Chains A and B, each alone.
Chain A
């Protein structure tokens, strides 16, 4: 039900209530440990984004410390394929870095021979 609802800046209090109910904010919105931890999106920013930008609350729920975020991080940590995926991500870069290195060392002398 929450996911289907669409809020605009007009319904800011309603979004606030929903976010509070979801456990993102403590009463009063001042002490919300997960969101106010260093490096996390401040609660106010999440609220402003959710209301003023007119996004669906689902997106606000994707904040770093919500349940989905925690599930995603746990999955990444525990997935046995994570390192393989990381290696496959890096492999093409590694190849082009080696090609660039090769060119750097064996660059042509632009017409005057290799030894310059």
Chain B
């Protein structure tokens, strides 16, 4: 990226200002990682820190190549992603339903909210030992924990979004004699999308974190397991690879959600 950027600016006689600006930004942004890499390499080269505390960047790279080449890395990533997809889908589906019901009907909210709030107070991690005793340490445990992690923020934000639908919009819909379903589909949902999306974003972040947590505690595959296993073997190079992949996947998921959100909200800009 940087290399092609350099090339581009060298070839063109006068790059536009925005390109120069973003190039300047990228150059500045890369300084710190480069400096860290430099100190890290130096430290490995002259042995400032023992290998077991900080392996050299080359070892980390080698470890990445090995893990990727053997297909092991892909396998762990695959397992983790699938767990998140199932758990998140279950949690998000339930959260959207309950959040919509709570946001639109004060009666449902009266009945459900205190129980929901009480259960939501216990951190996701707290439920793991209880569920281990109840459902064992199989896939079910992971899916339930991930679903719970996504469920809470999505429910809260969906309910808040639905509650905040402007009264005027609802009145217009009523004067057009919209059915309940039409009201939901054409008015309430579109108006609540930004808030719902905030919930979905939090939900996905929490789900990803819960996945790592549950895999650290009870799993024999997946990225979290890769970390535990590396920790036990004192293979720090492999552990760092695992952490980087976890970060990268998190970044990608967030970016994809950002794109979906922008697309869902296009009409806002176009309409106003």
The finding on whether chains A and B are genuine partners in a shared complex, rather than unrelated, reads no
